[in-house]
Amino acid sequence: MEKSDNTVDRYVSFEGIKCNQNADLLIGMLESNLNNQLGDDRWHTYFSDKRNQQHQRGHDNLHFIGNQLNMLFEYFKQCEDQPALDLLYKIEQECC
C-alpha cells in the first residue's frame, strides 16, 4: 500500500497548488501597498510601468510575478509587508 502524502510538488504535478489564486492575491497586496503610498515613489512608477506592459502583452499575474520576483521582494521588504513576502516565497517555491 502506498503512503498517502498531502505535500504538493510542482515537479510531480501542479494539482493542489493554487498558483493563479495566490498570484492574484499577491497582486492585490501589491496594489494595496501602492495605493497606500507605501515604499519609495520610484517603486510606484516602476510597478505602474510594468503593470501597463503586462496588460499590453496579455500576461497573467503569475507570469508578471515570475518576471518581477526580485523587484517584488525588494519592494515588499521596504514596505515591511511580511505576509506579502511569505506569499511571494510560497509562489516562488511552488509555481515559478
Q: Which three cell numbers stand for residue 43?
A: 517603486
Q: Can you count the helices (H) and strands (E) in the chain?
A: 5, 0
Nearest-10 crossing angle of helices 19-35, 69-78: 50
Residue from 55, 57, 51, 56 nearest 72 by CA: 51
pLDDT tens digits, residue range 34-85?
A: 999 999 999 999 999 999 999 999 999 999 999 999 999 999 999 999 999 9
Q: Which residues contact 46 (CB under 8 A, 6 or more apart)?
A: 71
Q: Which residues contact 6 (CB under 8 A, 6 or more apart)?
A: 16
Instruction: Check pLDDT > 50 for residue 89.
Output: yes
Q: Model confidence at 3, in pLDDT bands (50, 70, 90)?
A: very low
Residue 96 confidence (pLDDT)? 85
CB neighbours (10 Å) of residue 2? 4
Residue 17 confidence (pLDDT)? 78
